[in-house]
Structure 1
Amino acid sequence: MQLTFKVSPMIFKSFVAFLSFFWLGSTYAQSVNQLNLTDLSAFKSPSKSWQIVGSVQADLSKTNFLSFTEGSGLLMNFPDKKNEGKDLFTLSEYGDIDLEFEYLMASGANSGLYLQGRYEIQLEDTWGSVSPKSNTNGGIYPRWDDSKPEGQQGFAGYAPRQNVSKAPGLWQKFKISFQAPRFDGSGKKIANAVMLRVELNGVIIHDNVELSGPTRGSISNTEAAKAPLRFQGDHGAVAFKNIKITSFERPRPLEKSPANANAVDPILIDASENSILRSFIDLPGSPRVVHAVSVGSVEKVHYSYDLDNAMLIQVWRGDFLNATPMWHDRGDGSSRPLGMVQRFGKPKQSIAQLSNMEAAWISDTTGTSYKPKGYVLDEQGLPTFKYHTYGTSVSDQVKVLELGRGISRTVSISNSVNNLYFRLADAENIIQTADGTFLIDKQSYYLKIDDAGGSKAFIRDSNGRKELLIPIVKTINYSILF
């Protein structure tokens, strides 16, 4: 095992600010408005490529394609040869705002959200990209000057701190706190616009970024105190929902991160090839996982495994671990993911012997009982977890997929046991797509069964939730795409 430690006060201060700072606007907020998406009445002259729909799905094998159902609640842009895409503007104009919205990209799609129609946050399918840029998902798009030499026209763009984007067809969430430019009584600009903070999928990717002027593609190079939001419509298929705008009638002051005399330099762990760290893991609404193993990769996709339940408890994309809670001072033994996290529910054993397909899921606490046997490392340093349950020995290995698009998990048993089932997912909802892939938990991630020796997975109800189970005969191999 090789661990690389990196101390970054800048990242840690932003982290402290995020924890200690309620989302900007509680004092100065004048109005909170969630855009009505039962129709297009909140927008100015929408082109026919913009529609209100009930649901959308992407197809990972089809570029720039979304299928949809009729209904309301979602704003979808689907430009094609029949319906030319045009940008969409809100009727209302805004100065300082806090903006929240969820969005879903088609495979290979490109779009953008412009604050005041002038300052673009890039929206793009960058699934599998390790090195984010200013023109990839979450980037603040560059400015442009045709008079500059070739290769230098683009400038003042800002890449996100890390790529915490999800796969096409999955819902992602932005939270943006924006300060509009300031003008004196004569109309002269006296202060630039500022992205106070931009958070993507729960991770801060920009903090106090001053914008010297409009980004490329702006509706105007002349800046304004108030202007509409603009959704790019001439590039790719994209959908939006839950668009919430907190607007400010009078300009708010630029709020600084509060001083913290007790702040310490963080202890951050970069993932070298297959880094491994054992620690406690705290999960929301669940007891502390006290025998967790976190495995990192250079592809920037990592996971944590609960040895007490033989359960994959979380995967994440981005940076590896913050070990400050574990190693600073006396510590509390825990570590925390630094990227965009996908969790898999409360820890519960992954294999059970059921009397029938509808029997309640039970843990192996009687008879042979569950017995963890630790893990062994292969030649690449990848762990294979071992345990005994229901009279059979189990091997369980997780690998990162090519381009870091997710993980592949292979679970094998040493001998056949009657009525043995493996729980693939426990979620609020589960949808099987046309190609047999499963969309889990309101399109949070995909689950694809690659090989199960002929066994067929099935979805069932369980205490108001859904479970995805599959009989295990010998080996199950499946992928989680996120």
Structure 2
Amino acid sequence: MAASIAAPLAIAFCLNSVSYAQVGVGTKPIKGAEMYLDGSRKMLDDKWIYWEGPRFSAKPPIKWTVVNDPVDKGTVINCNDPASQGGLYGSADIVTKKQFKDFRAHVEFLITKPGGNSGVYLQNRYEIQVLDGDTTSHGMAAVINESKSPYYAYNGIGKWNSYDILFRAARFKDGKLVEQPMVTLYFNGKKVHSNQKISQVWGGPNSGIDGGNDGGKGITDKPGGLKLQSEGHDVYYRNIWIKDMELDKADTDF
């Protein structure tokens, strides 16, 4: 059963013809979006798979568990997989079966204990960090190693937090990178990154697609799914939806 969630915190007018885009905890899917995680076992199994990277050690079916929402009614998904104990990211991460180029996404997460760690990966490449207690460029809501952590917008342990994302994929011409990937992010209804360019994939081959390609600088023109990271911590997810987009201009501001 899906979690019961509160009303949206804010509404922002989208300048990229995404129509009106709601942002904040409790936001329902915008027109044309598809729900990918509603707190049910069925949707987890139907729309997600393990990412079989070089460190992959889990065995299907997905061992992430359905738990009761500690704040609202319903159920949510706990990312703590037995295979990832000790912080072995890449051993039991899950990724959407559907792959994306440009997209708008909404993700809600709750960290249960101090130091809780996970991550949201755009195109299974670029991490938006989920990490309690870290205010650096490797910390909470940072576009990892590309921007500072907007820690001020974090709701804290035991509370639901939301990422609202508009992402534009890297562009290529004749096989060569001509435009860097770009993202705008709202964290709990506050715009914290606007048209943030991303220079590479960080974290090495266990982090995602192209992580081991020329030290992460060898980005390829291949779509990828939205990935959630398991690092041996109890971090809960709910209300994840995604809309396929086509962003002709290098502009993700909304």
TM-score normalised by the chain length of structure 2: 0.70
Q: Does 1:192 align with 2:184?
A: no
1: CA distance, partners of 2:120 / 2:252: 25
- Further displaced range: 228-237 or 87-96: 228-237
Tell me if 1:213 matches 2:169.
no
Aligned partner of 2:229 in structure 1 is 232
Asked if 1:55 is matched to 2:45, the reply is no
1:246 deviates by 1.3
C-alpha separation in 1, matches of 2:142 and 2:239:
21
Give the 3 Å change call, closer, same or farther, for CA 192–206 of structure 1 in structure 2: same
Residues 166, 252 of structure 2: 8 Å contact kept: no
Unaligned runs of 5+ in 1: 1-17, 58-68, 143-156, 259-482
Change (3 A) 1:53 1:253: same
Q: Tell me the equivalent position of 1:167.
A: 156
Q: Distance in 1 between matches of 2:83 and 2:179?
A: 43
Q: Secondary structure at the match of 1:243?
A: strand
Contact kept, 8 Å, 1:166 with 1:172, in 2: the verdict is yes
2:209, 2:112 → 1: CA distance? 25
Match of 2:190 in 1: 203
**Deviation >3 Å, runs of 4+:** 18-21, 45-49, 79-85, 255-258
Amino acid at match of 2:103: I
Q: RMSD over aligned Cα, in angstroms?
A: 3.2
Matching of residues 60-209 of structure 1 within 5 Å? 72=75, 74-80=76-82, 86-107=92-113, 108-126=115-133, 132-142=135-145, 157-184=146-173, 186-195=174-183, 197-209=184-196
> Greater CA radius of gyration, 1 or 2?
1
8 Å contact kept, 1:101–1:240: yes
**Cα distance per residue 1:212-252 (max 9 Å; x no partner):** 1212233324333411111111342211111111112x443
Q: Is the 1:160–1:206 contact (alpha carbons within 8 Å) kept by the matching residues of 2? A: no
Cα deviations by residue, 1:21-55 (Å, 9 ceiling, x for unpaired) = 3274426x994111153222100145654123342
> Which residue of 2 is the match for residue 14 of structure 1?
none
Q: Deviations over 1:356-377 (max 9, x none)?
A: xxxxxxxxxxxxxxxxxxxxxx
Instruction: Say if 2:37 and 2:241, in contact at 8 Å, map to a contact too.
Output: no
Matches of 1:257 and 1:77, distance apart in 2:
30
Going from structure 1 to structure 2, the CA distance change for 1:36 and 1:135 (only over 3 Å counts) comes to closer
Q: Structure 2: how far apart are the matches of 1:81 and 1:234? A: 9
Paired residues, number: 207
- Which residue of the partner structure matches residue 362 of structure 1? none
- Secondary structure in 2 aligned to 1:227? coil
Contact 1:181 1:225 in 2 (8 A): no
1:19 deviates by 8.0
Q: Is 1:30–1:247's contact at 8 Å kept on the other side of the alignment? A: no
* Matched residue, 2:250: 254
Query: What secondary structure sits across from 1:41 in the alignment?
Result: helix
Q: CA deviation at 1:254?
A: 2.6
What residue in structure 2 maps to residue 21 of structure 1? 13
CA contact (8 A) 2:37 2:238 kept: no
TM-score by length of 1: 0.39
| Runs (5+) with no aligned partner, structure 2 | 1-9, 20-29, 51-59, 211-215
With over 3 angstroms needed to count, the CA separation of the structure-2 counterparts of 1:238 and 1:192, relative to structure 1, is same
Could you tell me whether the CA contact under 8 Å between 2:101 and 2:168 is conserved in 1?
A: yes
Aligned in 2, Cα 1:219/1:226: closer, same or farther, shift over 3 Å?
closer
Identity of aligned residues (%): 22
Q: Are the structure 2 counterparts of residues 253 and 112 from structure 1 closer, same or farther at C-alpha, using a change threshold of 3 Å? A: same
Instruction: In structure 2, give the amino acid aligned to 1:239.
Output: Y
Offset at 1:81?
7.5
- Check the 8 A contact 2:119/2:228 in 1, yes or no: yes
Which one-letter code corresponds to 1:94 in the other structure? Answer: F
AA in 2 matched with 1:123:
V
Q: Is the 8 A contact 1:182 1:225 kept in 2?
A: no
- Measure the CA separation in 2 of the matches of 1:116 and 1:239: 21
Does the aligned pair in 1 maintain the 2:112–2:158 contact within 8 Å?
Answer: yes
Residue by residue, what CA displacement relative to the aligned partner does 1:358-403 show, whole Å, maximum 9, x if unpaired?
xxxxxxxxxxxxxxxxxxxxxxxxxxxxxxxxxxxxxxxxxxxxxx
Compared with structure 1, are the counterparts of its residues 24 and 174 closer, same or farther at alpha carbon in structure 2 (3 Å cutoff)? farther
Residues 328-347 of structure 1 correspond to what in structure 2 (within 5 A)?
none
Higher RCO, 1 vs 2 (CA within 8 Å, ≥6 residues apart): 2
In 2, are the aligned partners of 1:42 and 1:91 still within 8 Å (CA)? yes
Tell me the secondary structure at the aligned position of residue 214 of structure 1.
coil
Q: Distance in 2 between matches of 1:110 and 1:230?
A: 14
**Contact 1:102/1:172 (<8 A) preserved:** yes
Per residue, is there more strand in 1 or in 2?
1
